[in-house]
Chains A and B, each alone.
Chain A
C-alpha cells in the first residue's frame, strides 16, 4: 500500500518536470530563430540606405524593425535566464544542459550581429539624407503651386537631356582615348615582334660563327702538331750534319798523310 503510494507520487512529479523542460528550451530556440529572421530583414533595410530607394517610409520601417527585434531580444533573454535557472537544479538531464549552453552561445552570436547592423544603420542614417520622390509630396496643393509642376517636370527633362549629352560626350572621349591607346599598344607589339625576329637572326649568325671558330681551332691545333714534328726532324738533321762534318775532316787528314808518304818515297 505504502509502496504503491510512493510510486504514484514519483510518476506525477516526473511528468510535470518533462513538460516544463520542453516548454522552456523550445521557447528559447523559437525566440532565437525569430531574432535571426528580424536581423536579416534589418540588414536588408540597412543596405538600402544611401540608394534611390532610401525614403522616409523606409526609415520608418527600419525604426519599427529595430524596436521589434529589441522586444524579441528582451523576451528571449528572459526565457534563457529561466532555462538556465532550471539547469542549476539537481537531477537535471545532462543533454538538456548541453542544449541550453548551445542556445546561449547562439543567442550571443545573434546579439552581436544585431549590434553590428545597428552601428552600420546609425552611420548611414547620419551620412545620407532620404530621397523624397515627387509622388510623395502632399496632395493638398494650391492652384498656383499645381501650375508649377509642369514647369518643374520640363526643367527636369531638360536637365536629364543635358546630362545625356554630357554622358555621350564622355563616352565619345573615352572611346577615342581607348582607340588611340590600343593603336599605340599595337605598334609596341609590332616593334617587340621585330626585335624578336632580330634576336633569332642574331642567334643563327652566332651559331654559324661558332662553327667557323671551331674550324679555326682545328687548323691551329693541326699546325701546332705539324710544326712540332718538323722541328724534331730538323733537330735530328742538325745532329747528323754535325757528324758529317767530322767525318769529312777525318777523310781529308788521311788523304793528306798518304799523299805526304808517297811524295817522300818517290823523292828518295
Chain B
C-alpha cells in the first residue's frame, strides 16, 4: 500500500480523514495544516518525515493531504489528491464552507479508503505506470516468442536430419530396384535360351528316328 493516510480540511478544520494503518499521521497532519505558508492561496507541497512523505494540495480554500510511502513518488499521490478534491467538491458543494469538524467523515472516509486502494495498487492510476506495465508485458511475450522459436528451430533441425535420412534411403531403394530389375531381365533371357535349346534337341531326336540314323541319311538323299 503506497498511500497510507488521507485527509480533507478547510483551513485547519478537518472535515474527513481515513487511515489504513494505526499511525500518528493524524497529529502530524494537524501540525502541517497549522504551519502551511500563505493564506488560502493555491499550492502544492511535500513534507518528508521518517520514511513517509506528506503531500499537500490546497485549492479554492480546501486542503487535501495524504501520507505516502517514499517509493510512491509524486505523480500518483498528487493525482490522488486531485481526484479526492474533485469528488469532495462534487459531493458536498457549498456545504464545505460551513461544515463542522469531522461532519463528513462517516460518508467520505469510505471514498477515501477506496481511492487509496485504487491509487496504491491499480496500474491504471498513472498513465506512465500503465505504459510501463504494458511494455513489460510486451517484453515478456516477446521473450516467450523467442523461446518458442528456438524450440521450433530445434525441431526443424531434427526434421532436417530425418528428411536427409529419408532421402538417402530412397536413393538406396532406387538403386536396389534398378539392380533387381536387371537380375530379373537376365534370368528371363537365360530361360528363353534354355527353352530354345531344349526344343531344338527334341526336334533333332525326332528327325533322327524318322530318318533312320544319327546323321539323317534318308532325309537328305
Q: A-side interface residues toward B, CB under 8 Å?
A: 162-163, 165-166, 169-170, 173, 176-177, 180-181, 184-185, 187-188, 191-192, 194-195, 198-199, 201-202, 205-206, 208-209, 212-213, 215-216, 219-220, 222-223, 226-227, 229-231, 233-234, 236-237, 240-241, 243-244, 247-248, 250-251, 254-255, 257-258
Contact B37 A202 (CB under 8 A): no
Residues of B within 8 A of A223 (CB): 163, 166-167, 169-170
Q: Do A237 and B149 have beta carbons less than 8 Å apart?
A: no
- Among residues of A, the one whose C-beta sits closest to the C-beta of B171 is A226
Cβ contacts under 8 Å, A215 to chain B:
160, 163
Residues of chain B contacted by A194 (CB below 8 angstroms): 139
Contacts beyond the supplied A222-B167, A223-B169, A230-B174: 5 A-B pairs with Cβ under 8 Å = A198-B142, A205-B149, A220-B163, A229-B174, A237-B183
The answer, yes or no, to whether B184 is at the interface (CB within 8 Å) is yes
The A interface is mostly helix, strand or loop, or mixed, namely: helix
Given contacts A216-B159, A230-B173, A248-B191, contact A240 B181 (CB under 8 A): yes
Contact B145 A202 (CB under 8 A): yes
A187 and B184 contact, CB distance less than 8 A:
no
- Give every chain B residue within 8 A of A229 (Cβ-Cβ): 174, 177
In the assembly, what is the distance between CA of A187 and CA of B139, in Å?
A: 13
Q: Tell me the smallest distance from the CB of A201 to a CB of chain B, in Å.
A: 6
Grouping DSSP codes into helix (H, G, I), strand (E, B) and loop, the B interface class, with mixed when no group exceeds half, is helix
Q: B residues within 8 A CB of A220?
A: 163, 166-167
The residue among B46, B160, B170, B173 with the most chain A CB atoms within 10 A of its own CB is B170
Contacts A169-B45, A233-B177, A247-B191 known; A205 to B37 CB distance under 8 Å? no
Q: Beyond A188-B131, A205-B149, is A237–B181 a contact (Cβ under 8 Å)?
A: yes
Interface residues of B (CB under 8 A from A): 37-39, 41, 43-46, 73-75, 78, 128-129, 131-132, 135-136, 138-139, 142-143, 145-146, 149-150, 152-153, 156-157, 159-160, 163-164, 166-167, 169-171, 173-174, 176-178, 180-181, 183-185, 187-188, 191-192, 194-195, 198-199, 202, 205
User: Cα distance A215–B176 when bound, in Å?
Assistant: 25
From A170, A198, A206, give the contact of B43 (CB < 8 A).
A170
Question: Nearest B residue to A231 by beta-carbon distance?
Answer: B177
Chain B hits for A213, CB < 8 A: 156
Query: Chain A residues near B191 (CB, 8 Å)?
Result: 244, 247-248, 251
Contact of B160 among A166, A212, A251 (CB under 8 A): A212
**Chain B residues near A206 (CB-CB < 8 A):** 149
A184 to B74, CA, bound (A): 12
Q: Is the CB of B181 within 8 A of A233?
A: yes
Q: Bound complex: CA of A209 vs CA of B157, how far in Å?
A: 9
**A254 with B160: CB separation less than 8 A:** no
**Chain A residues with CB below 8 A from B174, complex form:** 226-227, 229-230, 233
Q: Shortest distance in angstroms between B161's beta carbon and chain A's nearest beta carbon?
A: 10
State whether A209 touches B142 (Cβ < 8 A). Answer: no
- Write 19 A-B pairs (CB below 8 A) sorted by A numbering: A181-B128, A187-B132, A191-B136, A191-B139, A198-B139, A198-B145, A205-B149, A212-B153, A219-B166, A230-B170, A230-B176, A230-B178, A240-B187, A241-B184, A244-B188, A247-B194, A251-B195, A254-B195, A258-B198
Q: Do A208 and B180 contact each other (CB < 8 Å), given the known contacts A176-B74, A244-B187?
A: no
A224 to B128, CA, bound (A): 58
Determine whether the beta carbon of B142 is less than 8 Å from that of A185: no
Q: Judging by beta carbons under 8 Å apart, are A199 and B149 in contact?
A: no
Q: Is the CB of A173 within 8 A of B46?
A: yes
* A contact residues around B78 at 8 Å (CB): 177
* Residues of the B chain whose Cβ atoms lie less than 8 Å from the Cβ of A230: 170, 173-174, 176-178
Chain B residues within 8 Å of A208, by CB = 153
